[in-house]
Amino acid sequence: MVQKPPSRSAPTISQVAAAAGVSRSTVSRAFSRPEAIGQATADRIRELAREMGYAPNHTARALSTGRHGNIGLIVPDVSNPFFPPLIRGAQVEADRADFCVFLGNSDENPSQEAKLLERFSGQVEGVVLVSSRLTDEQIIEAAQIRPVVLVNRDVEGIPRVLIDSSIGVSEAVAHLVALGHRNIVYVSGPSKSWSNRQRRNAFKRAVKLAGIEASIVYADMANYDSGRAQVPKILAAGASAAICFDDLMAQGVMGGLAERDVPVPARFSVIGCDDVIGATTYPALTSVSSPTLQAGRTAVSILLDRLEDNTSQDIRYTLDTRLVTRQTTGPV
Amino acid sequence: MVQKPPSRSAPTISQVAAAAGVSRSTVSRAFSRPEAIGQATADRIRELAREMGYAPNHTARALSTGRHGNIGLIVPDVSNPFFPPLIRGAQVEADRADFCVFLGNSDENPSQEAKLLERFSGQVEGVVLVSSRLTDEQIIEAAQIRPVVLVNRDVEGIPRVLIDSSIGVSEAVAHLVALGHRNIVYVSGPSKSWSNRQRRNAFKRAVKLAGIEASIVYADMANYDSGRAQVPKILAAGASAAICFDDLMAQGVMGGLAERDVPVPARFSVIGCDDVIGATTYPALTSVSSPTLQAGRTAVSILLDRLEDNTSQDIRYTLDTRLVTRQTTGPV
DNA sequence: CTGTTAGCGCATTCAC
DNA sequence: GTGAATGCGCTAACAG
């Protein structure tokens, strides 16, 4: 086997053992279970190792133990502002346990997602799937190989953390009603999205409860242009306010309204979901805030727990949302 | 050694060899160098392996070859909209070579960055450091262990890809001058940022060349609130336009202006940098576009090249920027 | 508390 | 073209 000569070849455990006049096992213990050997020897070895620039070879350790201290995280699209905070949260939690995280981008594409899963396989102890595009069957199959935790995807038997927009959307409707709105529209996102179904249903329940007029306009994509394109339909419905599937669409709606000289919030109110850009726009967007960072943390936390004790109770962790009122909503 | 019993234990190369009636070497070759064995045997073995659900153990292979097909990518802050497209680009390129990428978040913190580097070490063949907060010495030291490629950081001898804002910023100034502006301000970002220094210098050169009045206001942080807080200083300077270190600050400036009832672009023009949010706001932000996705791709591409042929010529790859004109700039 | 022994799963010299 | 032997670096039983 040809080893590319490293500029500064790393010492092996044997070299440290020789230099310290002990066996390799002792050196090994000095790093993995220091409390199992003499305090003095442990210190001496670690010090010596430090001087020699020795560090345990992660790969060799992984081969021997079957544990590599890595997890995988697959998201549909890193560039969608919804995900970065979630990734961040996952990182933070992984960090605390000294785990490294592989990041994968599925491009909203099931086969790409499966490919990543395959590629990660054998290098990760578990995987977090965010807004997975895989079928239930594929997910269940993947979970048979190694622990899987889902975010915003509800598959029975697979640990999952769900951001529940119900409360936030209800608050949004209540907020608009309190401001005097009597005809609201929900701008729907991707039809196969779990989050979208959930928000739409919460919307329906809330408007029915309030006994006001309401309608739904359907867009296929969740982005600025898509939101902008819905404005004619929204205005045609005679609504005075819109709750949008996400903030990007909300921005699009605002753009479309501005083009038609409909002032926000003077003549029309707009509410987004996820609160990913709220504070950085003008006027600042009222939005249903999603605890995405928390979702990332929780998912990884659950995954790591599962790696510890191999319990397999059915976890379904729900995170609540709330309305963050800013400047795009006003009295009718 | 206690191996946690996998639900569906993966077959090893030996089992496949036994089942196929060949030696382990042959099976190994069937996967790593199929052309080195009989076409027929290779096919037969691969087929059998597929049936048995065999896949080469990544870790064992890595231990033996010293190559694990992973790279590390460390960014200051995943949540900063500048980075996701870059991450995306890096992923795309890694994907093409069947590499997995470890993502790390340094929190703009040098010691956290060093810690990640350490944690990745031994599992990655190379690392891409984006807007590194490490000292030159630390970077050089890291590069002695394994290949390192820098993005937006200029250290002699280390391969680097730099987004050169000079052209874009010059265009921005020219654009404003053409619109009749005669007093412009540059809203400076983090003082130790390479990008900021570069933009500020390009600004100085351009305004001097145009012979117009100009000034610089200094902010320490690059975010919305920081931009918003600069508005009084900007207006006090008597400027009619501002070029901001990045889009987030530009948004902040727009927010601050709106609060003071200064209409954009009617009475004041605003230009951002990086073009990370331009199209999703209203009015749409004029911005100096940074090819961040391309930067990510190029960095990984250079890294992978370097892993192939161990050449070590000094690469300094420059990516140009250009002004994207939208609706926040207008005649004075 | 420490050393000895035996793999983890694979890639790779050598022979044949 | 194929098989036998050896080692990658480390950990974990088992003795002592």
Tell me: the pLDDT tens digits for A93-146? 999 999 999 999 999 899 999 999 999 988 999 999 999 999 999 999 999 989
DSSP, collapsed to helix, strand or coil, labels residue A42 as helix
Candidates B82, B123, B247, B300: best to mutate against A (most CBs of A within 10 A) is B123
Question: Looking at per-residue confidence, does B88 or A248 come out higher?
Answer: B88
How much is the mean pLDDT over chain B? 92
List Cα–Cα distances, B119 to A56, A69, A96, B189, B227, in angstroms.
Answer: 11, 10, 12, 31, 36
- Closest residue (Cα, C1') to C11: B64
- What is the distance in angstroms between the Cα of A278 and the nearest Cα belonging to chain B? 11
pLDDT at A38 over 90: no
Reported as a single tens digit per residue, the pLDDT across A199-233 is 999 999 999 999 999 999 999 888 889 999 999 99
Average pLDDT estimate for A51-79:
93
Contacts of A37 (CB under 8 A, 6+ apart): A26, A29, A30
Interface touch A91/B105, C-beta < 8 Å = yes
DSSP, collapsed to helix, strand or coil, labels residue A68 as coil
pLDDT-above-90 percentage for chain B: 79
Using a CB-CB distance cutoff of 8 angstroms, which residues of chain B are in contact with residue A310? 4
Closest residue on chain B to A276 (Cα): B79
**A26 Cβ contacts chain C strand, under 7 Å:** yes
- What is the distance in angstroms between the Cα of A135 and the nearest Cα belonging to chain B? 20
**A22 Cβ contacts chain C strand, under 7 Å:** yes
**B36 Cβ contacts chain D strand, under 7 Å:** yes
Contacts across the A-B interface (CB distance below 8 Å): 146
pLDDT band at A281 (very low <50, low <70, confident <90, very high): confident
Average pLDDT estimate for B14-18:
91
- What is the distance in angstroms between the Cα of A88 and the nearest Cα belonging to chain B? 6
Q: Does the pTM of the predicted model rise above 0.75?
A: yes
**A111 Cβ contacts chain D strand, under 7 Å:** no
DSSP, collapsed to helix, strand or coil, labels residue B72 as strand
List Cα–Cα distances, A267 to A104, A238, B264, in angstroms.
Answer: 43, 12, 21
Which DSSP string do the residues of A299-332 spell out, in sequence order? HHHHHHHHHHS------EEEEE-EEE--SS----
Using a CB-CB distance cutoff of 8 angstroms, which residues of chain B are in contact with residue A65? 1
What are the structural domains of chain B?
1-45 (no CATH), 68-163+292-320 (3.40.50.2300), 164-290 (3.40.50.2300)
- Which structure tokens are listed for B323? 């002004």
Average pLDDT estimate for A154-174:
96
Kindly report the length of chain B.
332
pLDDT value at position A112?
96
Question: Looking at per-residue confidence, does B254 or B223 come out higher?
Answer: B254
pLDDT value at position B5?
37
Reported as a single tens digit per residue, the pLDDT across A303-314 is 999 998 767 788
Reported as a single tens digit per residue, the pLDDT across B18-34 is 898 998 999 999 999 88
- Which structure tokens are listed for B215? 């000034």
Interface touch A310/B4, C-beta < 8 Å = yes
DSSP, collapsed to helix, strand or coil, labels residue A56 as coil
pLDDT value at position A26?
93
- Which structure tokens are listed for A293? 């960072």
Structure-token match 């690469």, residue found: B315
Tell me, what DSSP letter sits at residue B318? Answer: E
